[in-house]
Amino acid sequence: MEFRSHIDGRKVLFTPEFSISAQKKIGADFIVAFDEDILNKASEKYTKESTERTHRWALRSLAEFEKKKDAPPHRQRMYGVLHGGRYEDLRKWSAQTIAAMPFECLALGGVSVGIENKELREEVSWVSDVLHSDPRPRHLLGISTLPDVLFGVKLGFDTFDCVLPTRYARMGRLYDADYSSLELYERPRRDVDFTLDILSKKYKRDMGHISSHCDCYVCKTYTRAYLHHLFTQRELLAYRLGTIHNLFWIEQFFAEIRRSVEGGKM
């Protein structure tokens, strides 16, 4: 893939080899094989071509990773990425193809951009059917909406990633729901339904804390009124405190999921 540098305008060629080498150099714990993440609404013809390309890139990524496996840092692992778009046969074919390669972990891509919730759940289910007996860790790329995380866990996915908690923090959207009551998140809902908008005027004189369910530094130290002031004045401290709270909250949410899994409740 060819990009143009925003610094000097020169063309930069990204290849599977370049991607793996770069991830190796920065010391990534989990390296992701080079793949093409296409919009879910792409045509079947283009989706098939793209998926075939991702499969070829997966083999080149593996070869580059193997070539550099003895170079530090050690103990790095690589995810192979499954694609196939909104087409069940292509999704299952990609899952079978990537699963046949010697990746240590598997990741499902193409389900976080331009896709409705119903489609997302269908596509995750298709792949889960293929991988149900595969013992390798599974990752759901670009997903961290709370109901979708729970759905993914129930279908055997182990890890997730998304910028949502920090993005919400920058927007003044702070989690205030009870992270220990997982049944709150069972049905599909927007994540904003689990947050408060600290920019709202109703918090101008609110001396309570963000969430009565949270024990983070921000909730123990600052009032909603003070945070409202910081955000309305665009003080840089606002974004730091919002991020601290949202990351703590989401970590506790995942800790509760792990306890439920270990206790046989999920």
Q: Within this chain, do residues 152 and 245 fall inside the same structural domain, yes or no?
A: no
Q: Within this chain, do residues 156 and 186 fall inside the same structural domain, yes or no?
A: no
Helix extents (H) in the chain? 16-25, 44-67, 88-99, 117-131, 146-154, 164-171, 217-221, 224-232, 236-262
* CA 195 – CA 210 distance, rounded (Å): 10
Q: Within this chain, do residues 143 and 233 fall inside the same structural domain, yes or no?
A: no
Q: Within this chain, do residues 74 and 109 fall inside the same structural domain, yes or no?
A: yes
- In the listed set 129, 162, 195, which residue is the last one of a domain according to the structure? 162
Contact by Cβ (8 Å): 257, 153: yes
pLDDT string in tens for the chain (266-residue length)? 888 888 898 998 999 999 999 999 999 999 999 999 988 889 999 999 999 999 999 999 999 999 988 878 778 899 999 999 999 999 999 999 999 999 999 999 988 777 778 888 999 999 999 999 999 999 999 887 888 899 999 999 999 998 999 999 999 999 998 888 887 777 656 666 789 999 999 999 999 999 998 999 999 999 999 999 999 999 999 999 999 999 999 999 999 999 999 998 87
pLDDT (0 to 100) of residue 83: 96
* CA 92 – CA 87 distance, rounded (Å): 9
pLDDT (0 to 100) of residue 70: 80
- In the listed set 139, 162, 185, which residue is the last one of a domain according to the structure? 162
> What's the domain count of the chain?
2
pLDDT (0 to 100) of residue 188: 58
Nearest to 61 by CA among 86, 22, 42, 34: 34
CATH number at residue 135: 3.20.20.105
Q: Within this chain, do residues 142 and 176 fall inside the same structural domain, yes or no?
A: no
Q: Within this chain, do residues 28 and 151 fall inside the same structural domain, yes or no?
A: yes
pLDDT (0 to 100) of residue 190: 66
Structural domain for 46, as ranges: 2-162
Q: What is the value of pTM for the model shown?
A: 0.87
Q: Within this chain, do residues 138 and 208 fall inside the same structural domain, yes or no?
A: no
pLDDT (0 to 100) of residue 147: 87
Q: Within this chain, do residues 134 and 207 fall inside the same structural domain, yes or no?
A: no
* CA 29 – CA 49 distance, rounded (Å): 30
pLDDT (0 to 100) of residue 135: 95
Contact by Cβ (8 Å): 158, 135: no
pLDDT (0 to 100) of residue 73: 77
pLDDT (0 to 100) of residue 65: 94
Q: Within this chain, do residues 111 and 34 fall inside the same structural domain, yes or no?
A: yes
Distances (CA, A) of 250 to 161, 216, 254: 11, 11, 6
ω before 73 within 30° of 0 (cis)?
A: yes
Q: Within this chain, do residues 66 and 149 fall inside the same structural domain, yes or no?
A: yes
* CA 150 – CA 77 distance, rounded (Å): 25
